[in-house]
Amino acid sequence: MATKTRITNPRTGLPRREFLRLLGVGAMGVALARCGLFEAGGSDGLSANGKRLRGIFPITQTPFTAADKIDLDGLAEEVKFINRSRVHGFVWPQVASEWATLTETERLAAMEAIGAEGKKTRPAIVFGVQGADLAEVRRYVRQAERTGADAIISLPPSEGATPQAIVEYFQALGKMTELPLFVQAVGNVNVDALLEMFRTIPTMRYAKDEEGDPLGHFATLQEKTGGQLKIFSGGHGRKLIDEMNLGFSGSMPAASLADLYAQSFDLWQEGKFDQAKAMHARTIPALDMMLDYGMEGMKYILCARGVFKTYGARKPKDQGFASAAAIVSGGRTTTLPMDDKGRKALDDLVQSLKPYFRA
């Protein structure tokens, strides 16, 4: 008697009969998203400029001159680098961009420089618009519109703000513009707050989820929004493979190694799962070594890759976002000095990764 072969889907590991059963249930979209078969929510989101809001969207770093002035030419080069690296998006300025050290004048000028370069390139441009008050936020929103941004992102007013105050802030922000809105979920931005914003803010269809357990939140957020809330991760993309398997729409690591993450993401979408895992396994040790040198380490990698001319960082200010800052630092409270030994270590790291870089 012939032995029956148990046919499974290579991506999900589900038996064929169980896979087909899922196709017939009312919660099909959620079930498939959990299996990682396609991006949760179905069709990819597009900005008004026709750019996809999906993939690796690095939180980009801010270059400063030797005189501690913002280097607008360096920011434009960073946009070109992200484009050459075939990375999917460009986000600025958030915590890893040292946003709290920037003046309003610097931010507006930088948005102009990034927007001008972004119009010539493929990656979607997402501008951070958090500010001291709603009047300042509105000025950043208007600049985002004027410079052709594809979307905006904002931190909450503070990590200690109540969920209700956070919802009210984002509701006010959502009324300012038709640009797609990413909510950066930190502090008290819990699942219920995200769901309330989804219900009451038509442009809020994206979240960078860094609060608590994003992998654990995902199924609930997808079920409660019919798969229409697109979830990006933070945490330097450490759990990217697990996130893609669930159906996350993307991740927001730092810019320094963004093309390695983008390759993992692209390989996964092509069904080359083992190759995606191998690339990610190569990326995380490099990430940890870079983070040992803190913000200057992130920037030095960009210097070594020919993007920035300097790697100095400004003295951090109290942002009111301690947990977000801890995520950026990888949980480190101290860093190694960027002396000759440190620079040599990171130079050697870049050399070892050159066969895998796209740019």
DSSP-based three-state secondary structure for 227:
coil
Tell me, rounded to whole angstroms, the distance of Cα 127 from its chain centroid.
12
d(CA 52, CA 63): 27
Q: Tell me what percent of the residues of the chain surpass a pLDDT of 70.
A: 87
E-state strands within the chain: 55-56, 89-92, 124-128, 151-154, 181-185, 204-209, 230-233, 250-251
d(CA 58, CA 150): 15
Tell me, rounded to whole angstroms, the distance of Cα 102 from its chain centroid.
20
Instruction: Say which CATH topology domain 39-354 has.
Output: TIM Barrel (3.20.20)
The yes-or-no verdict on residue 132 having pLDDT over 50 is yes
Rounded alpha-carbon distances, angstroms, from residue 116 to 7, 109, 110, 160, 167? 52, 11, 10, 36, 32
For the entire predicted model, the pTM comes to 0.87
Mean pLDDT score, 240-259: 97
Which residues have a Cβ under 8 Å from the Cβ of 190 and sit 6 or more positions away? 163, 211, 212
Identify the pLDDT of residue 25. 33
Q: Tell me what percent of the residues of the chain surpass a pLDDT of 90.
A: 80
The yes-or-no verdict on residue 322 having pLDDT over 90 is no
Cis check for the bond before 337: say yes or no (omega within 30 of 0). no
Identify the pLDDT of residue 332. 81
pLDDT band, very low/low/confident/very high, at 319 (cuts 50, 70, 90): low
- Sketch the domain layout of the chain as residue ranges: 39-354
Mean pLDDT score, 312-331: 77
Mean pLDDT score, 297-308: 98
Identify the pLDDT of residue 324. 73
Identify the pLDDT of residue 318. 67
pLDDT band, very low/low/confident/very high, at 37 (cuts 50, 70, 90): very low
Long-range contacts (CB closer than 8 Å, 24 or more residues apart) made by 115-122:
115/146, 115/147, 115/148, 115/149, 116/76, 116/147, 117/76, 117/79, 117/80, 118/79, 118/90, 118/147, 118/148, 118/149, 119/148, 121/79, 121/80, 121/82, 121/83, 122/51, 122/83, 122/86
d(CA 41, CA 225): 9
Identity of the amino acid at 248 = F
Across the beta sheet with 181-185, the strand order is: 55-56, 250-251, 230-233, 204-209, 181-185, 151-154, 124-128, 89-92
